[in-house]
Structures are given as structure tokens and as C-alpha cells.
Structure 1
Amino acid sequence: MAAAARRLLLLLAVSLAALAAARAHNILDILDGYSEYSLYNSYLSQTKVCDEINSRSTVTCLVLTNGAMSSLVSNLSLADIKNALRLLTLLDYYDPKKLHSLHGGSELTTTLYQTTGDASGDMGHVNITNLRGGEVGFASAEPGSKFQATYTKSIREEPYNLSVLEVSDPITFPGLFTSPSAASTNVTALFEKGGCKHFARLIVSSGVVRTYQAAMDRGLTLFAPTEDAFQAKGLPDLGKLTSADLVGLLEYQALAQYAPKASLKTMKGGIPTLASTARGVRPLRGCHGDDVSMDTGMDKSRVASTVLDDTPVTVHTWDSVLLPPKIFGRRPLPSHPGDSSNAPDPDQHQELHPSRRPRLSLTKRKPKPKSPSAFPTPRRPDDTPDTAPAESPEGDEEADKPADKNGATAVGMSIAAMVASVALVGASLF
């Protein structure tokens, strides 16, 4: 009985360890030691496709040499290069043995490009076929497509989670390289098309649209609240804001870096906004499925959709308006007429702005050991600091932790802890 229990615990520990290793792959680190793929690796990083790859537990990367990659990227925008890299990323595990033993000699597989919703019909699928002479070819699922790309060699295999294979050429089809460009797009028209007309009017009337345009070359992520977001119950009356505070609110809806949805999932700690270089919004822990939510410490908002992804600019829509604590503090402005649910006491109205609010400490004092003598030592006024961390939600113990490089390390550490716990349980049983 004891021997069977030991074998069961050992099997569980090995399984958990394998799962931890599988979730911890980082495609940039894997290819970093191969100079012949440096251009491919560079574009994986620039376009953030690396984050999409690292978030997948089962994936096959078809890698191009520097020569093949140079031919692909000439005269293409980063948005088009991004789609080409997505089409080279298969959402299944293929190693040389599997490639040469396809059922019926051919197989259709899904790629990252298909998951974007931009692929017309099945254009985000790739046809893998055993060709004459032992070659394996890859082509678009579009009927009549030629097998320009062929398997060359295996670079890395981690059964059955990650496979990195070299192929001779990119996989393309007519219409692949037609991504919208931020440079050629009217930003306000894009917001209006995405159902964010009120937000578009605000950024034009306040002049913040010029701030957005000036930041595009350095990297910019815009979050446009939808029409419903501006009609939400409990939203402060934005018409009562000063011009400066309105600008601050609108700049708070933008990050000073390129962050597509997959990259937002990997970020931790505070993320700077255009309103400040200090801690701004932070990803919410415990998000489910494909949802991505952000938090200010006062409120939170979910990424509803992506209306533009043109590296280094991406535009998402919010399902609510993020309220910066520096403007609204812990007591929002009076809500829209007829909604008194969040209206503060009139006598407290002067406490809206931090410069007029009493500063309260969020730092907890470490209790002093009790003395056996008669009376406790009185607390001195300087025992507790009188300032609080800027824009840091109370109790956020992870806000100052550095960003996880690939979004998988934390998962691996958690599973490793589970393995250690299993080992301890096994030791206690025997």
C-alpha cells in the first residue's frame, strides 16, 4: 500500500513539474543564441507576437533565416509583418516525425492569425502536405495556393508543447498585407467607427488628440471608452471638471508604450500612462479566459475590443471610463443629475482634489511588543508617515514587483510550489 502511494505521489510530482516547464517557454530566449534568426527574433519582439506565442501552452513556430526574413519585411509595415509572423505560428505541436507521417499525407491547421478575427474565411489556416521527394510544404488554405514554404530543419522540440522549426520561405496569400495603418488613419474617425463618438469629441475639443499623435512614434496604447461607458450610473459629471483635469482624465486613458491585448496579460505592477510617468493603471489579477481588465485603485475597466493594431500603436475600446485618483481622489464628483447614489456631502466638496484633501497614511504601523509594566508607551506623532504612495491601491502587495518577462514564470513558480507541497505530503505519509 505504501509503495503504491509513493508511486502515485511521484507520478503527480513529475506531471506537475512537466507542466511547469511547458508553461515557462520564452521564444525570444530560445532564438537568442542563433545569429541566423536574429532578424526574425527582432521582429517577434517589435510586434509583440512573442507575447502571443509565450501565452500558448501548445504551439509550433515556423522560423525564417535572416535572408528569408529580409525579403519578407521589405516595403511592409510592422502591422503587416505582425500578421505574417502570426501566419507562421501554428496552434498545434508538429515535430519532424509528425510532419512526415500526416494522416492521408495532408493536414489543415490553425494559426495565430486566425484567432485575430481579421482572417477572411479560412485564410488563417495553413495546409501542411507531404510533397514528392520527402519534402514537407506549407501553404495558405486558399485553394490553389502554392507551397512556397518547405520544412528545412528542427531548431527546438519540447514535446508536446513547443516546437521551433526552420522553413525556407514565408507563407502568404493575396490580401494578407492590407492592415490599417495609424499613420494613414484618422484617429477620431477610428474612434467613432468603434462606437466611441463622445470620446472622439472630447479629445478634439480638449486638444489631447495632438498629444496622442505626438506620442505615436515612440509607442502608444489608446483606450477609448464606449458610448455606454459615458452613460454609466455613478460616473462623475465630467462637465464639472476644469480644463486641466479633463486633459488629465483623457491622457489617463492612454499608455506610453505599445501594448496589444496579449502583452497586457503579461504585465504586472503599475503601468505608466500619458498623464504621468508614475504608477498609473495595473492589470487585474484573476482575469478569466481572454478577458483583460485594468485597475486604478478606484475603479476598473475591461478591454472590450481592438480596433487598430499597427505597431507601435494599438487602439482598444474600454467598457467604462477609468478615473484617475489624482483628480477624483476617494470621493468622486457629484454624479449626473437624478443619480444621487454616489453624490458626496456638499460640505465635503472641497475635498475632491488631493491638494485640498487631508493626507491619510496607508502605511500600517508595526505593533510594539507589550510591556509587562503598568501602562503602554504612548504613540509619538512621527511614528506614522503622513504621506501615502501615489496611485497605489491599499493592500496592493504586488504593485512594485517587476514585470514578468513572458507571463509564464509566475505560473511555473506556483506549480513548482505545488510540487514541493506534494513532496512534503509524501514524506509525512511515510
Structure 2
Amino acid sequence: MAMQRVAAAAALLACLAMAASPVRGRNITAILDGYKEYKLYNKYLSETKVCDEINSRQSTSMTILVLSNDAMTTLASDAGDSLPAIKNALRLHSVLDYYDRKKVKKYGDESAATLYQATGDAASTTGNVKVVDQEDKNYAFSAATPGARLCTVTKEVETHPFKFAILEVTAPIEFDGLFDTPATSNLTRLLERAGCKVFASLAARTGVLKTYEDAMDKGLTLFAPNDDAFQAKDAPDVKTMSTANLTRLLQYNALPSYNTKTSLKFVKGTLRTMASTKAGKDGVTVVAKGDDVSLDTGKARSRVADTVVDSVPFSLLTLDSLLVPPELYVGAPEAPAPEPSPAETPASQPADAPSVAADHAADHKTKKPSSAIASRPIGALAAAACSVVLASLLL
């Protein structure tokens, strides 16, 4: 009987560990919504959509170095209140490995990669941070550049060993060049360098280029098809197209808000384009499959290829094929709406909607999150299984 009780206890502990295992579903903005001292940091995570970059790495061990409201105010001031510059800094504070006091004391000083390095915006060395073991129980993080300021960890906000941690540091991690951002003043040049000369020429000829430029500092996501896209078999002949239809086509390839390739994977609903009407006409949906993101018109899909510019609130992405309003599409028969599946799920939202990570914050306003990773339905199933296992072993 004693052995049965020991076995039952072991089985129960295993079940509970499985039920509570925080492997998937973490949402950084929803977590930080429970901490008023990080309200400003959380706000910038949503505005820059760095939250989506963090949330998209569910299987990656990460450590988020958060700043108090006062320290975040300092960082914003150092960045000249420039959102693109602040985004660089928030990416640098998102470390692609797990750290806590116990690990640092065991392994000592290390160098770790960050989201800033992973985006390709930094050199291999400047994109890193150093993890430094200090005296007593203290440890700190700093930029990888020589003589960089040490930012001591003042609080381990949440730790989930070897999976996810949120640590508060005393001051922003910065280095010379961190706040440098790409120039976006010459949109025509950006398009031409990206291999989208035809698109740039059409935009200039119709006057839509001016529409794009006026929206760049308010919120614009521009999907630019490469030159080959205009030669595709089913592409409309832009040479014979009326100015009105051509204008509509060009506006259809833009969203009146800031989105990144990563954040597009999270949105829900119909995604409004600059051509969309109040009745909802000329919208698109997003189909995400792994790292691939496509825009679906209902008759064809256009794959989002590369990010040319990501400078909040402006994003320039290239497409492999032309994004065409259904009424202007040539050749292909009407296709049924794609059915979502675990491997391929539609994900889109109104263009002026906030990041999906920020949406979850509303669900946490009535209670403080107790875990860095949201519970999944498997937890309830595992808990039920625990009861069955325990009952059977105690009989």
C-alpha cells in the first residue's frame, strides 16, 4: 500500500508539472500589463511591435530586460523620442537566451545575442549584450562595446527556468550608433533599390506616390511587387489600364497603418487597404504558414518576400506577385476562401487596429498575471488526467 501511495504521488507530481509547464502561449504585453511600474515600457513594446517579435518566438528561450517608467523615460529621451530608435533599443533589451541569478553565478560572464542582432540591423558584436557576474548576489547586463555601462539587475520579475525570464535593470543599455535609423525621405529611391522600379514609376505617374509619402509619418505599410510581377501570366496590363483602376491597384498594395511581416501573422479579421471602402470592399486577409506570410485577395495570393525598411510608423515590404483587387484580376476563376488549418491559418485585422499582443492586455486589467506564459487548454486536460491517475493508483 505504501508503494502504491509513493507511485501515486510521483504520478500526481508529473501530471501537475505537465499541466503547469509554461511552454507555449506567452504574451509579453499581457504579462507586463500587471505591473504599473513598466507601463511606459509596455506601451513602447506595442507601438513598435517588438512585442510581436517576442511573442513569435514561443520555442526560443528569452530574457526580457525591462525598465521602470523613469528609466524608460530616459531611454526615450536619449533616442530623441524617435520610435524607430526606441525600437532598436527594445530589441537590444530582448535577449535570445535564458538568464537568472542562479545561472549567472554558476557559469559566470557570457555574451548573448539579442533581437537587435537577429534583425540584421546590427553588426555581430554590437548586437550582443554582455552578462556580467558582480559581487555578492548581483549580476548585470551591458552593451558589448568596450567600457559600456553596467546595468545591474534590480529585480527578477518573473523566471521560468531555461525558458523565459523578465528582469528589471537599473538603466537602459545603450551604445554609440544604437539609435541610428535608415533614411526614408526618398521613397522612389527605396523602391528602385528594392527592384520595384515599375511600381515606383506607376506610383509617380498616377500621383499615388504623393499619397504614400503623406502617410509615411502617420502609418503606412507598403507592399511593393518586384518588376517581374508585372510580367506574370495573370497580371493585368497596366499599360492599358485606366488611371482610376491603376490608382485603385496601387492603393490596394498599401495599408494605412504600420505593420511588420511578423506582426501580420498575428492579426485577425479583414485587413483594410488604402483602397478599401466603408463597406469593406477591397480588403485582404493574411495567410501565415510558419515564417511564410501571404496576402489573400480571395482570387489569388501574394507572398510577402522581404523587409526593405522597418522604420516606425513606416514599413516597406516586397511581394513576389502583384496584389490585385478581385475585379481587376485577370485569368483565374474565382477561388473559394481558404479553410484554416493548424498548419495554415488566416490571420488579419483592420489596418488601424493595435498589435494583437496589446489586445490581450484588456483581458488582464482585472487581475495580475501570475505567470509569464499563458495557460493552455492542455493544462485542464492534464489536470483531469491527474485525477484519474491518482484515483486508480489509490484503489
Q: What's the TM-score, normalizing by structure 1?
A: 0.73
Q: Distance in 1 between matches of 2:297 and 2:209?
A: 22
Tell me the residue number matched to 2:222: 222
Residues 41 and 415 of structure 1: CA distance in aligned 2, closer, same or farther (over 3 Å): closer
| 2:199/2:226 contact within 8 Å kept | yes
Give how far 1:113 is off.
Answer: 0.5
Q: Which of 88, 109, 126 does residue 83 from structure 1 map onto?
A: 88
Structure 1 letter corresponding to 2:215: A
- CA–CA distance in 2 between the matches of 1:218 and 1:23? 34
In the other structure, the counterpart of 1:115 is: 118
Work out which of the residue numbers 370, 377, 389 in structure 2 matches 1:416. Answer: 377
Asked if the contact 2:133–2:139 (Cα under 8 Å) also holds between the matched residues in 1, the reply is yes
Matched, 1:126 2:115: no
Contact map agreement 2:48 2:312 (CA 8 A) in 1 = yes
Question: What's 2:97 paired with?
Answer: 92
Local SS of the residue matching 1:276:
coil
Structure 1 CA distance, aligned partners of 2:379 and 2:263?
A: 27
Q: Counterpart of 2:365?
A: none
The answer on 1:49 being equivalent to 2:50 is yes
Match of 2:276 in 1: 276
1:131 Cα deviation from its structure 2 partner: 2.4
Q: Residues 14 and 254 from structure 1, CA distance in 2 versus in 1: closer, same or farther, beyond 3 angstroms?
A: farther
Q: How far has the Cα of 1:116 moved from its partner?
A: 0.5
Contact 2:26–2:374 (CA<8 Å) still a contact in 1?
no
Is contact 1:251–1:274 with CA below 8 Å preserved after alignment? Answer: yes
Change (3 A) 1:8 1:55: farther
CA RMSD of aligned residues (A): 3.6
* Larger Rg belongs to: 1
8 Å contact kept, 1:282–1:294:
yes
Higher relative contact order (CA 8 A, sep 6+): 2
Measured in 1, the distance between the counterparts of 2:52 and 2:17 equals 25
Residue 186 of structure 1 and its aligned partner are, at CA, apart by 0.5
Post-superposition offset of 1:173? 1.8
Of all paired residues, the percent bearing the same amino acid is 45
Match for residue 231 of structure 1?
Answer: 231
The C-alpha deviation readout for 1:386-409, integer Å capped at 9, x for no partner, is: xxxxxx937679879979933999
SS across alignment from 1:241: coil
- Residues 20-39 of structure 1 mapped to structure 2, 5 A cutoff: 21-39=22-40
Whole-Å Cα distance in 1 between the matches of residues 300 and 8 of structure 2?
Answer: 49
> Could you report, residue by residue, the CA deviation over 1:91-122 in whole angstroms, capped at 9, with x for unpaired residues?
112123223x242x211111111110111132
Equivalents in 1 of 2:309, 2:348: separation in Å?
30
Q: SS at 2:265's partner residue? A: helix
1:218, distance to aligned residue in structure 2 (A) = 3.0
Q: In the TM superposition, what is the alpha-carbon distance from 1:136 to its structure 2 partner? A: 1.4
Report what 2:309 is aligned to: 308
Contact 1:145–1:173 (CA under 8 A) maintained in structure 2: no
Q: Is the 8 A contact 1:93 1:163 kept in 2?
A: yes
In structure 1, which of residues 137, 142, 148 is the aligned counterpart of residue 140 of structure 2? Answer: 137
Residue 67, structure 1, aligned to residue 70, structure 2: yes
CA deviation vs aligned residue, 1:49-97 (integer Å, no higher than 9, x gap): 1111112222211011122111111114111100100000111121232
Point out the more displaced range, 90-99 or 108-117: 90-99
Letter of the structure 2 residue corresponding to residue 406 of structure 1: A
Runs of at least 5 residues in structure 2 that lack an aligned partner in the other structure:
361-372
- Cα distance 1:326–1:233, how it changes in 2: closer, same or farther (>3 A)? closer
Change beyond 3 A, Cα 1:64–1:318: same
Give the 3-state SS of the residue equivalent to 2:120 in structure 1.
coil
Distance 1:242 1:215 in 2: 24
The one-letter amino acid paired with 2:72 is M
**1:313-363 deviation per Cα after TM superposition (whole angstroms, max 9, x unaligned):** 1111111111111333xxx16xxxxxxxx6x9xxxxxxxxxxxxxxx9x9x
**Counterpart-to-counterpart distance in 1, 2:346 and 2:95:** 35
CA distance in 1: counterparts of 2:359 and 2:376, whole angstroms: 11
1:151 counterpart SS class: strand
Whole-Å separation in 1 of the counterparts to 2:378 and 2:75: 44
Residue 319, structure 1, aligned to residue 320, structure 2: yes
After superposition, residues 144-159 of structure 1 pair within 5 angstroms as 144-159=146-161
Question: Any idea what SS the aligned residue of 1:320 has?
Answer: coil
Q: 1:415 to 1:24 in 2, by over 3 A?
A: closer
1:106 to 104, 109, 115: 109
Name the count of aligned residue pairs. Answer: 361
The offset of 1:208, in angstroms, is: 0.6
In 2, the alpha carbon distance for the partners of 1:63 and 1:414 equals 23
Letter in 2 for 1:163: A
Pairwise CA distance, 1:158: 3.0
Q: What is the CA–CA distance in structure 2 between the aligned matches of 1:127 and 1:136, rounded to whole Å?
A: 11
Which amino acid in the other structure matches residue 82 of structure 1?
Answer: K
Cα distance in 2 between the residues matched to 1:40 and 1:180 = 23
**Matched AA of 2:192:** E
Deviations 1:293-312 (A, max 9, x none): 22111111222111111111
| Secondary structure of residue in 2 paired with 1:223 | strand
Contact 1:16 1:415 in 2 (8 A): no
The code of the aligned residue for 1:244 comes to: A
Q: State the AA in 2 paired with 1:256.
A: P
Report SS of the residue matched to 1:22.
Answer: coil
Q: Which residue number corresponds to residue 194 of structure 1?
A: 194
CA gap 1:13/1:122 in 2 versus in 1, 3 angstroms: same
Task: Please say if residues 100 and 159 of structure 2, whose CA atoms lie closer than 8 Å, have aligned partners that are also in contact.
Answer: yes
Give the equivalent residue in structure 1 for 2:363. Answer: none
Residues 393/51 of structure 1: CA separation in 2 closer, same or farther (3 Å cut): same
Task: Please say if residues 16 and 416 of structure 1, whose CA atoms lie closer than 8 Å, have aligned partners that are also in contact.
Answer: no
Confirm or deny that 1:292 pairs with 2:293: yes
**Contact 2:25-2:374 at 8 Å conserved across structures:** no
SS in 2 for 1:224: strand
Deviation at 1:133, TM superposition (A): 4.8
Assess, with a 3 A threshold, how the Cα gap between structure 1 residues 284 and 17 changes in structure 2: closer, same or farther: farther
